[in-house]
């Protein structure tokens, strides 16, 4: 490899019925990953990815392991195409850094050697269950705000939280009445999360103060907000009993946007990020400033590729979400010196 490369892995919201089907048909390595996934979970998650139904795939406890599985199958197909006889998550194309958006961070840990595939799938499914459950206990949601800067939205969230809490006689939940900036995705592309009344008020304030668009997201809870603290606590218990090794490749964490390799730091990150904000813009900026020239998004959808282009003007980006993308990516990487 002649240029510095980062692998990026998408999070929830990138799922779609049919994802992974073509790579399953085209790649023996991908077939092995899907077989291992189905065996680990005790049901055919691969069939759910390939055929749906969409409503079932969208369930958080299904969507999260499904995205991890498809991302890893696509990476396996990439590495197989480069070296059919010597498969490894991180060879022959070895990234300098790894990063994943929310649940995509679990994918990154598998690739880094810190997590076992089977353990990861079971834990990610439990992560989804815990997050979905907390969404029923304290109803909330998320909304993407386009065309407003982070500082203005932070002020709006504080104002909406104060007004909503003042109107509630008895909040009754650690996160009720609160709304926060959940995802700092890219300049002018920020996601809010919180209890429904506070989120609605913050959305109206954002519209009134100049946001270009406010888009409600189809999610089952107020992810990456204080509403998810009980889920974070539950996940922390799961992680305390889970073997985690040191990462062989640095992972730029969602919370502090700084490199993580030590097993205990990774354990802490995975537990806390459920209720913490995702600093994706800072994550990408860190890697760009460290010399990364090519960002490769591996997984369903193209959301992260779009964010990178907004964060780092002129960045080289590659998206691998299906067989066609894989062919284009291999040609691009050979022509541009990413691979020999």
Last residue of a domain, one of 221, 239, 258: 221
Q: Do 98 and 14 share a structural domain?
A: yes
134-137, long-range: CB < 8 A, 24+ apart: 134/221, 134/227, 134/228, 134/230, 134/231, 135/60, 135/219, 135/220, 135/221, 135/222, 135/227, 136/220, 136/221, 137/173, 137/230
| Structure tokens, 282 | 């800072």
CB 251 within 8 A of CB 108: yes
Q: Do 157 and 68 share a structural domain?
A: no
Active site residue 224: yes
Residue 175's pLDDT band (cuts 50, 70, 90): low
Q: Do 153 and 295 share a structural domain?
A: no
Tens of pLDDT, residue by residue over 119-143, are: 999 999 999 999 999 988 888 999 9
- Rounded-to-integer distance, Cα 18 and Cα 165, Å: 43
Tens of pLDDT, residue by residue over 275-308, are: 999 999 999 999 999 999 999 999 999 999 999 9
In a domain, 179, yes or no: yes
Q: Identify the helix (H) or strand (E) that includes residue 52.
A: none
Phi, psi of 200, rounded to the nearest 5 degrees: -60, -45
Of 46, 71, 102, 225, the active-site residue reads 102
Active site residue 331: no
- pLDDT of 88 reads 87
| Structure tokens, 73 | 């199958």
| Structure tokens, 60 | 């958080």
Last residue of a domain, one of 221, 246, 279: 221
Peptide bond into 339 cis (omega under 30): no
CB 110 within 8 A of CB 72: yes
- CATH code: domain of residue 263: 3.40.366.10
- Rounded-to-integer distance, Cα 264 and Cα 266, Å: 5
Q: Do 9 and 37 share a structural domain?
A: yes
Q: Is the pLDDT of residue 174 over 80?
A: no
In a domain, 242, yes or no: yes
Burial degree of 128 (CB within 10 A; 0-12, 13-18, 19+): buried
Q: Do 155 and 36 share a structural domain?
A: no
Considering its fold, how many domains does the chain have in total? 2
Q: Do 317 and 174 share a structural domain?
A: no
pTM (2 d.p.): 0.95
CB 251 within 8 A of CB 259: yes
Q: Do 236 and 104 share a structural domain?
A: yes
Q: Do 296 and 163 share a structural domain?
A: no
Tens of pLDDT, residue by residue over 25-69, are: 999 999 999 999 999 999 999 999 999 999 999 999 999 999 999
In the three-class reduction of DSSP (H, G, I as helix; E, B as strand; rest coil), residue 88 is classed as: strand
Phi, psi of 21, rounded to the nearest 5 degrees: -65, -40
* DSSP state, residue 228: G
User: Distance between the two ends of the chain, CA-based, in angstroms?
Assistant: 6
The dihedral region occupied by 134, where left means phi > 0, alpha psi between -120 and 50, and beta the remainder, is alpha
In a domain, 283, yes or no: yes
Boundaries of domain holding 197: 139-221
Peptide bond into 53 cis (omega under 30): yes
- Rounded-to-integer distance, Cα 108 and Cα 98, Å: 6
In a domain, 340, yes or no: no
- pLDDT of 27 reads 96
Q: Do 10 and 123 share a structural domain?
A: yes
Residue 177's pLDDT band (cuts 50, 70, 90): confident
- pLDDT of 164 reads 87
Q: Do 107 and 9 share a structural domain?
A: yes
Q: Do 144 and 121 share a structural domain?
A: no
CB 142 within 8 A of CB 222: yes
Q: Is the pLDDT of residue 314 over 60?
A: yes
| Structure tokens, 42 | 């005790």
Last residue of a domain, one of 221, 238, 265: 221
Q: Do 260 and 125 share a structural domain?
A: yes
- pLDDT of 1 reads 43
* DSSP state, residue 15: -
Tens of pLDDT, residue by residue over 195-226, are: 999 999 999 999 999 999 999 998 989 999 99
- CATH code: domain of residue 191: 3.30.70.250
Of 101, 173, 224, 279, the active-site residue reads 224
Compute CA 146 distance to the chain's CA centroid, rounded to the nearest angstrom. Answer: 19
Burial degree of 335 (CB within 10 A; 0-12, 13-18, 19+): exposed
């Amino acid at each position: 490899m002649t240029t510095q490369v980062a692998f990026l892995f998408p999070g929830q919201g990138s799922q779609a019925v049919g994802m992974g089907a073509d790579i399953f048909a085209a790649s023996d390595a991908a077939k092995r990953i899907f077989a291992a996934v189905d065996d680990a979970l005790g049901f055919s998650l691969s069939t759910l990815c390939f055929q749906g139904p969409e409503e079932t795939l969208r369930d958080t406890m299904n969507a999260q392991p499904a995205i991890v599985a498809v991302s890893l199958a696509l990476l396996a197909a990439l590495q197989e195409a480069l070296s059919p006889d010597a498969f490894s998550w991180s060879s022959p194309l070895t990234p300098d850094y790894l990063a994943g958006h929310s649940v995509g961070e679990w994918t990154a840990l598998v690739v880094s050697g810190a997590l076992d595939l089977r353990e990861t799938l079971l834990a990610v499914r439990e992560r989804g269950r815990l997050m979905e459950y907390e969404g029923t206990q304290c109803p909330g949601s998320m909304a993407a705000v386009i065309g407003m800067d982070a500082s203005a939205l932070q002020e709006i969230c504080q104002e909406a939280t104060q007004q909503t809490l003042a109107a509630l006689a008895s909040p009754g939940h650690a996160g009720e009445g609160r709304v926060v900036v959940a995802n700092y995705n890219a300049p002018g592309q920020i996601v809010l999360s919180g209890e429904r009344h506070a989120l609605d008020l913050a959305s109206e304030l954002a519209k009134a103060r100049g946001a270009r668009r406010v888009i409600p997201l189809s999610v089952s809870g107020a992810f990456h907000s204080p509403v998810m603290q009980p889920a974070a606590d539950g996940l922390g218990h799961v992680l305390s009993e889970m073997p985690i090794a040191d990462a062989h490749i640095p992972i730029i964490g969602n919370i502090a946007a700084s490199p993580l390799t030590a097993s205990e730091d990774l354990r802490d990150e995975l537990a806390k990020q459920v209720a913490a904000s995702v600093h994706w813009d800072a994550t990408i900026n860190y890697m760009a400033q460290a010399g990364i020239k090519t960002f490769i998004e591996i997984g369903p959808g193209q959301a992260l590729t779009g964010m990178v282009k907004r964060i780092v003007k002129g960045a080289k980006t590659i998206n691998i979400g299906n067989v066609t993308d894989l062919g284009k990516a291999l040609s691009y990487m050979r022509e541009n010196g990413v691979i020999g």
